Structure 1
C-alpha cells in the first residue's frame, strides 16, 4: 500500500486513513469486524475522539494485540488543564494503550498557544511519553492559521473535499510549506457527496493530505480499498464534481453538529439540510412519520441565534431551517416534484 509522510511527525502512514466517528453507530461486534478488515487490508492510521461515545473502546478492543503495528490518533475538547488530563487518562484506558501517536485539540473555541496552560499540558503529556505528536482540529479558517502561526502543532485537521475553495487550497499549501501534516476531515462533504471514487481521486491530487474516511459499513470500506492508489481525476469524474459544486455551492450545512444542542431541541444537523438529502438520496425514508415530526419541530425556532454563534461556517441557520421546512412540505404534499 502507498504511504504518505504526515508532515514533521515523520509518521509514514497508509494513504487511506480511517475516521472512527461513524463506528459509534454500530454494535461492538460489527465495529470490531470492520476494524479487523481495515487492519488486515493494511490501513494503519485510525482517528477517534473522546467525544465519539464508545468509538475509543471499540478501537481498543480491536487493536489491543497489534498496538505497535498501527497509529492511534485521538482528540480532546477540554478547555482547562484539569479536563485535559482527565480526557487523556480516559482515552488511554479505553484505547488499551499507554501512549497515543497523535493527540489533538478538538475544535475548541480558541487556539492554544505557547505559554497557555492548555498548551503547556499538551507539551507536558508529550514530554511524559503519553503522546508522541501534537495536533489540532478546527472548522474555522482563522483558528487554522493561528495554529500554523504558533509553530507548536505538527498536524492540522480541517474539512477538505472537492467542494473546497481557494482559502482551503491555500491552507493545504501553507501546511506543505511549513511541513505540518494535513488531515482531511469531511472528505465526503459531511455525507452529502455521493461519489466516493471522485472524492478519492481528488485527495490523490495532494501529496501532503491524509484523508480520514468515515466508515461504518463493510461496503464502504470495500469501495475505498478497491480504488487504484494512483487514481486521479479524469474526464469521467470531472462532470460529477462540477455537478456537485453547482448543487451544493458553499452555503450548506455540513452536519458537523457544533451548533447543537438547540434550546428548542430542534435537530439542526438534519433539518437544515433536508432539501439536499431528499434530492441526493432516496426520498422515501425521509418522508416517514418520524421524520415529519422532526421537521415540524423547526417551526418552534425562536431565532435566538445561539446556533449561528456556534456555527463554524457562519451559516444563517434560522433561515436555512425555514427554507428546508418549506421545501420539505412542498415535496411531501406534492407541490414540488423531485
Structure 2
C-alpha cells in the first residue's frame, strides 16, 4: 500500500484509508471482517465520528479483536465548547476501547461563527489542547464542507490536518489542498466516490489520488468486496489513461451537481423515509439502465418519496444544501406511475 505523510503529524498513512460512515448499517460480524481485510490490504488509517451512531462502538470491538496497533485512529466531534468536547473525547475513548486517539477533529464546522466558538476562550480547541497534554489525543484537525472556514483555519495555523470533499465533480478543494501542503498540513479527502454515486469507482479514486497534495482518501466501505476493490488503487496505483479519464468525465457529466452523496446527515425522516436510498434507486433507474431492479427496490420500501409531507426537517442538515423536498418530489413523479402500472 502506498504511504503518504499526513502533514506535520508525521504519520505515514495509507493512500486509501477507511471512512466509517456506512458501517452504521452493518452488524458486528461484518465490521470484524472488514477490519481483518483492511489489515491484510495494508490500510492503516481509520476515520469515524461521534455522529456516526454506533460506528465508534463497532470499530472499537473489532479493533479489540484485530489489534488497535495496526491503525492510526481518527474520530470527530460536532461539539464546539470546552465542556462538550471534553465529554465527547471521553465517550470516544470508551467506545473505541483505546487509551489514546491519534487524530481528533472538529466535525463539519459549518460557519465562521462555529469556528470562532471553537477557537474562543471556552471553546473546544482549548479542550483538545488539554487532552493532548494528558496524552488522550495526539493530533488535532478540523473538517468542513465550507471552503472559507478551512481557508481561514489554514491562515491561522492551529490545525495539523484538514478534511474536505474532493472528487472529479467537487474539485474546489484543489487550491485548498495546495495551500495546506505549503503549510505542511495533512489533507484527508472525503467523498472521493461522491458518496457512492460513481459507477467507475476505481477511476474515481485514481483521479483523486493523482493529486499529490492529498495525504489519504477515505471512501466509506461497508463490505469486504468494497475493501478489496478500493484498496487495489493504493496497492497498485497508476494514473488514469485517456480512455479511463474520458469515461469518468462522462460519469461526472451524467451526475451533474445536484445529487445525493449518501452521507445520511438528513436522517432521521419523521415519515420514516430512507432519503439517500430514494435517490440511489432513482440514479440506477435514470443513469445505469437498471430500471427493473430500481423499480423493484423502490416498491419494496415501507416508506418512499411519495410519503414526504414536505416538513423540511431534512434540508438544514444537508451539508450540500440540496433541495431535498424537490428532489423527493421528482423521485415520486418518476416511480409512482410505474409502481401503480405494475400493480
Same fold (TM over 0.5): yes
Gaps in structure 1 of 5+ consecutive residues: none
Q: Is the 8 A contact 1:200 1:231 kept in 2?
A: no
How far residue 332 of structure 1 moved from its aligned partner, in angstroms, is 4.2
Paired residues, number:
331
Counterpart in the other structure of 1:172: 177
- How far did 1:274 drift? 4.8
Please say if residues 306 and 336 of structure 2, whose CA atoms lie closer than 8 Å, have aligned partners that are also in contact.
Answer: no
Write the distance in 1 (CA, Å) between the matches of 2:156 and 2:122: 11
2: CA distance between counterparts of 1:284 and 1:79?
46
Distance 1:174 1:91 in 2: 31
Gapped runs of 5+ residues in structure 2?
Answer: none
TM-score by length of 2: 0.87
TM-score by length of 1: 0.88
Q: Distance in 1 between matches of 2:341 and 2:249?
A: 29
Tell me, what secondary structure is at the counterpart of 1:133?
strand
Specify which of 247, 261, 268 is matched with residue 240 of structure 1: 247
Structure 1 CA distance, aligned partners of 2:194 and 2:257?
Answer: 10
Cα deviation 1:185-237 (Å, max 9, x = unaligned): 11111111111210221122112311012111111111123345331111231
TM-superposed CA distance for 1:134, in Å, is: 0.4
Please tell me whether the aligned partners of residues 195 and 220 of structure 2 are also in contact (alpha carbons under 8 angstroms).
no
Corresponding residue number in structure 2 for 1:147? 153
3-state SS of the aligned residue for 1:132? strand
The answer to whether the Cα contact below 8 Å between 2:43 and 2:231 also exists between their aligned partners in 1 is no
Task: Provide the residue aligned with 1:55 in structure 2.
Answer: 55
CA distance in 2, matches of 1:263, 1:194: 31
Q: Cα 1:178–1:52, aligned 2, differ >3 Å: closer, same or farther?
A: same
Alignment of 1:1-338 (within 5 A): 1-64=1-64, 66-109=67-110, 110-111=114-115, 112-113=118-119, 115-165=121-171, 167-209=172-214, 210-227=216-233, 228-262=235-269, 266-271=273-278, 274-280=281-287, 282-288=290-296, 289-291=299-301, 293-298=303-308, 300-302=309-311, 304=312, 306-332=313-339
RMSD, matched Cα = 2.4
Contact 2:193-2:201 within 8 A present in 1 as well: yes
